[in-house]
Structure 1
Amino acid sequence: MAGVRTAWTTVEDGDFFCPGCGGDRNYERRVGRRRLTVLGLPVATRGEVEAVVVCSSCDRHHGPEVLDQPTTTRLASMLRDAVHTVALAVLAAGGARSRTARLAAVGSMRAAGFTACDEEQLLTLLVALSADQATTGADLTDEPELRQALEPLSAHLAPAGREALLLQGARIALADGPYEEEELAALSTLGRALRIPVADVDQLLAAAPERS
């Protein structure tokens, strides 16, 4: 005769990574309001319920926090950008003087998906970054700059993934010989921006010459 039902209203839709399906899917974010019904007819409201995210494929309901997880497409894009940031930071710290290091950076970026990257493009970009630094004072190797660029990705990478990014930078720095002081400082800053414990950063950088 009497009961409580929830009326849902869709307030947003888009793409998300569904933890139920395990892939990128469409979603609807819905807000609900409880209503007291008598003989199937609503007669009074009984407050709001927590919003839910509903997968359009499996129809499972999730909490709104699932939208904080990037889609696999977005994650891949963030990873490419991170490789780009790491390579440029190492070169800006002194590696750009060596053609061997520049070519190592080109190889790293091509492997990450920047297939059109070449040495000339890299040099042009470094000149532009240097000019921007002279104008704004923003240095690509500064910790705040690197944290801003890398921390959004770091939160979603396993430790092994963060370490792999740092090792890519180490290989670029080592392409023309032992670390220079500026390169080592930049790599240490990259490690902190990637949320790698300081002791682990030191061990990784020390072991990198043997892995290169």
Structure 2
Amino acid sequence: MLGDFFCPGCGGDRNYRRQHGRRWLRLFGTPLLPLGPVLGSVQCTSCSGRYGVESLEQPTSVRLTGMLRDAQYTIALAVLAAGGTTSSSARGEACAVIREAGFEDCGEAQVLAALAALSGQSAGEPFDVHGVGSALAIELHAALEPLAPHLAQPGRERLLLQGAWIALADGRYRPQEREALAAVGTCLRLSTDAVARLLEAATRTPH
């Protein structure tokens, strides 16, 4: 069985071959009795290194890039929806974050269309931290929670700050924006104190 994985030995995306084996009790080199369950491993076809099947849980570089792009896009939509779409400054900042993420052709029309499609969250409506009845909040959990374990603390903080800069583009935080950003922090495994510190820092950090 062949597939793609992030090889710990090569430090990059490589092909792997799935392998199975079993430990045997041997007598004069002849296997007699199996010892324990079948053992699974993966072997890199480039460096021939063998690793446990748990190495497949690490996303490839290509997959991680896609996850990060989707996270930035979803955070931008969520914060914009929480604060309302009437501010041209906020719309412009959200579009800038989305284009930076890799959606180079995304403009205000596409962003507003995406928000309209996610009708579970109306612009300016209080943000449901738990995602109940809110399509955008559900998207937020789906985009951020699988990504969080694979990002270092500075990377997770950077994502939250991008959302904060969208909220601040037209002035101070609105209560709904704070709720949305708190939800982002929760999904990114940031503590309440860390979220509060970052939101305060965003108000003083030139962007």
Structure 1 length as normaliser, TM-score? Answer: 0.85
Task: Give, in angstroms, the shift of residue 202 of structure 1.
Answer: 0.1
Q: Which moved more, 1:44-53 or 1:92-101?
A: 44-53
Task: Give, in angstroms, the shift of residue 118 of structure 1.
Answer: 0.4
Q: Equivalents in 1 of 2:102, 2:139: separation in Å?
A: 23
Q: Equivalents in 2 of 1:31, 1:21: separation in Å?
A: 22
- The question of 1:170 aligning with 2:164 is answered yes
- The question of 1:138 aligning with 2:126 is answered no
Look up the match of 2:102.
113
- The question of 1:97 aligning with 2:86 is answered yes
Task: Give, in angstroms, the shift of residue 34 of structure 1.
Answer: 4.1
- The question of 1:198 aligning with 2:198 is answered no
Which among 171, 174, 177 is matched to residue 180 of structure 1?
Answer: 174
Task: Give, in angstroms, the shift of residue 46 of structure 1.
Answer: 2.1
Residues 54 and 61 in structure 1, CA contact (< 8 A), matched pair in contact too: yes
Q: Equivalents in 1 of 2:142, 2:118: separation in Å?
A: 16
Q: CA RMSD in A?
A: 2.0
Q: Equivalents in 2 of 1:107, 1:193: separation in Å?
A: 22
Q: Which moved more, 1:25-34 or 1:114-123?
A: 25-34
Look up the match of 1:158.
152
Percent of pairs with identical residues: 52
The one-letter code of the counterpart of 1:149 is A
Task: Give, in angstroms, the shift of residue 138 of structure 1.
Answer: 3.2
Query: What secondary structure is seen at the aligned counterpart in 2 of 1:97?
Result: coil
Look up the match of 2:12.
23
More strand by share: 1
Larger radius of gyration: 1
Residues 147 and 194 in structure 1, CA contact (< 8 A), matched pair in contact too: no
Task: Give, in angstroms, the shift of residue 97 of structure 1.
Answer: 2.1
Task: Give, in angstroms, the shift of residue 33 of structure 1.
Answer: 3.0
Structure 2 length as normaliser, TM-score? Answer: 0.87
Which among 114, 124, 129 is matched to residue 125 of structure 1?
Answer: 114
Task: Give, in angstroms, the shift of residue 26 of structure 1.
Answer: 0.3
Misfit runs of 4+, over 6 Å = 36-40
Q: What do residues 105-164 of structure 1 show as CA deviations (whole Å, max 9, x unaligned)?
A: 11111011001100111111111112x558xx731454x653232110001000000000
